Amino acid sequence: MFGRLLWKLLRSNRGRLTVALVAVTSGGAVISALLNLQFDIERKLTQEFRALGANVVISRGNSSRTIHPNQPPSKVLGSPALIDQAPVLAQIEKMRTSEVVAVAPFLYIVARTADTPVVVAGTWPDQMRGLDPTWKIEGSWASSPDDETLCLIGRNVASQFKLAPASQLDLTYLNRRVQLRVAGVIDAGGAEDNQVFANLPAVQKLANTGSQIEVVQISVRGTGATIGGYLAQLAAALPGYDVRPIRAVTQAEGNLLDRTRLLIALMVGLILVLTALCVLATMAALAMERRKDVGLMKALGGSISRIVGLFLAELGTLGAVGGLIGCLIGILLGRWMGERVFGASINPRWDIFPLTIALTMGAALAGALPLRLLGKVKPAVILRGE
């Protein structure tokens, strides 16, 4: 009997119930999309911030120091800014996880080409693509670590010395000379456009530093807590070395993530309130229209608790159906939001379905406040037609 009465209630007053269902469905769709974005925002923002380059640096002493051509080899070798690459890189490789995107050691010198000074960075060119994925390149990446003659050059260097892919580049440093072949011309939009990136062994031979390097740059994805945990482990494994984050990147990433999550939570709360108000207005009108039905139910012996329970079941059904439809629409809405904001679709999470349905049902049941008026309905007054 209860099910038959519920079905009759749902079929009657279709106009007002349709308005409430549209409100619940719209709210459920936006909430579903926002919750999908909330749970996927960490991965999307991490991908976006990894485009900014390395966020962890390992050095010893003043890592900003650059080796200049007028420094004799003894001073270079004894420089506190230089570190032995073997133990550091071995420890990094030992602790490498899936969160580590790229690792690249660096040794900087100021060499000369055509009697003009140019900054040369000895590194692993094959790692540069992972370290700075936004770089544009003309030609190809110097992806062969065994070929010490390959190099990458910035677009300003290419323009100044009239170089192109496959061109020869002669570098001299302290009466030592090396001939490199340009594999590609990079457009980084920064200081890298004025530099030459050569294989690390070639630069170490040119600078006569042996197996020493200046800094190690690492790109680690994850939240600020994830990066902080990795930094702590790395610092403990490398005592005596300066292991630090590039705070301009990590702090911005953490702050933006927290603020975005707070904004999404506030928007979800606001949508729930607006949905509840819409259902509340609809149920207030329905409560007045159903006074006669309630009076007749009371006259037939129905208790107010069972009558209110019947209307609550109607609201719960309305919230569940609206939430389910809203979840399906929210998947499409979430993909559209992801493509517009991050340039990539948001992956749907099926665990959002029960959460969204529970929230929409809660918003719909919040509209049951006008049902208190039904308790004041007097059967005798209704039966007299008043």
- Length of the chain, in residues: 386
What pLDDT shows up at residue 152? 92
Residue 76: pLDDT above 60?
Answer: no
User: Mean pLDDT over residues 104-122, rounded?
Assistant: 91
The pLDDT-based confidence of 78 (bands split at 50, 70, 90) is very low
Residue 289: pLDDT above 80?
Answer: no
* 385 vs 216 pLDDT, higher one: 216
Residue 343: pLDDT above 70?
Answer: no
Tell me the percentage of the chain whose pLDDT exceeds 90.
Answer: 16
What pLDDT shows up at residue 247? 55
Residue 336: pLDDT above 70?
Answer: yes
User: Mean pLDDT over residues 107-126, rounded?
Assistant: 90
Q: Cα(103)–Cα(94) distance, rounded to whole angstroms?
A: 12
* Burial (CB count within 10 angstroms: exposed 0-12, middle 13-18, buried 19+), residue 305: exposed
Q: Cα(142)–Cα(199) distance, rounded to whole angstroms?
A: 8
Q: Please give the model's pTM, rounded to 2 decimal places.
A: 0.57
What pLDDT shows up at residue 239? 85
Token pair listed for 287: 């409560």
Least-confidence region, from 17-31, 98-112, 300-314: 300-314
Render pLDDT for 117-137 as a digit per residue (tens, 0 to 9): 999 999 988 888 778 777 888
Token pair listed for 363: 């918003």
State the CB neighbour count (10 A cutoff) for residue 284. 14
Q: Do residues 334 and 37 lie in contact, with contact meaning Cβ atoms separated by under 8 Å? A: yes
Q: Cα(69)–Cα(114) distance, rounded to whole angstroms?
A: 15
Q: Cα(6)–Cα(312) distance, rounded to whole angstroms?
A: 10
Token pair listed for 228: 């902080």
Please name every residue paired with 108 in a beta bridge, in sequence order, or none if there are none: 121
Residue 376: pLDDT above 90?
Answer: no
Task: Report the candidate in 167, 159, 146, 173 with the shortest Cα–Cα distance to residue 69.
Answer: 173
* 71 vs 376 pLDDT, higher one: 376
Render pLDDT for 44-53 as a digit per residue (tens, 0 to 9): 665 555 555 6
